[in-house]
Amino acid sequence: MFHHEPSGPETTASGSPRAGRAALVLVLAIALICGAVAAAILWRTGARADRETAAHRHRVQATTTARSQDPPVAIRPGVEPQAVAPAVWEYPDHVRRSGSVHVPPRTPQGRAVTIWVDDSGAPARPPDTTADLALSTVAGSTAVAGAAGLTATGVLALVRRSGEGRRLAAWEREWERVEPVWSGRLGRRSEPGAGDE
């Protein structure tokens, strides 16, 4: 009986620990690189947008004309609820404006409050802080890194499956060549008088 030792790269175990670690390192590297590139782009773009927004935001003093209308509860735990009160202010200089503005809860009539307005003098959202920019950058780059990691994992899985298919096909061809010798069928067929009655 003959014993054949398969050799060559086709017989390498696709699920070996070394191959698994290499694939994991590759996926992590791709995810980290994509995340870092996304973070740099998001930070640069966000900082530019924040500078442009800040150039058109102005802090002014407003005076409430009535008591604030307080919200029943905080929107989120740990976040101070915002009340709304009618107020008057001037922006640009000597142009009197009025409207509803956000104020601390229980703000009385006649209280001076600081508000943000745009170039026309209308109430506007304040410009984002560095912390806001950092938070949005981290969130965006994390999402990009996750998507890149999932994509790389999918591509590696397809490549690995394709490689396993080639290895199985090579194993089948090798088995067709070796099996008759290994099982002894080839020897029985070639014996003199085999099959003669």
Q: What is the pLDDT of residue 26?
A: 87
Q: What is the pLDDT of residue 9?
A: 44
Closest CA to 8 of 187, 126, 174: 174
Q: What is the pLDDT of residue 114?
A: 94
Q: What is the pLDDT of residue 19?
A: 74
Could you tell me the strand order of the sheet in which 112-117 lies? 96-103, 83-90, 58-64, 112-117
- Long-range contact set of residues 7-15: C-beta below 8 Å, sequence gap at least 24: 10/166, 10/167, 10/170, 10/171, 11/167, 11/170, 11/171, 12/167, 14/160, 14/163, 14/164, 14/167
pLDDT by residue for the chain (197 residues), tens digit each?
444 444 444 444 445 678 778 888 888 899 999 999 999 999 999 999 999 999 999 999 999 999 998 876 655 666 667 899 999 999 988 899 999 999 988 899 999 999 999 999 999 999 999 999 999 999 999 999 999 989 988 888 887 787 777 778 788 888 888 777 777 766 555 555 544 44
Q: What is the pLDDT of residue 44?
A: 96
Q: What is the pLDDT of residue 23?
A: 81
Q: What is the pLDDT of residue 12?
A: 44
Q: What is the pLDDT of residue 82?
A: 81
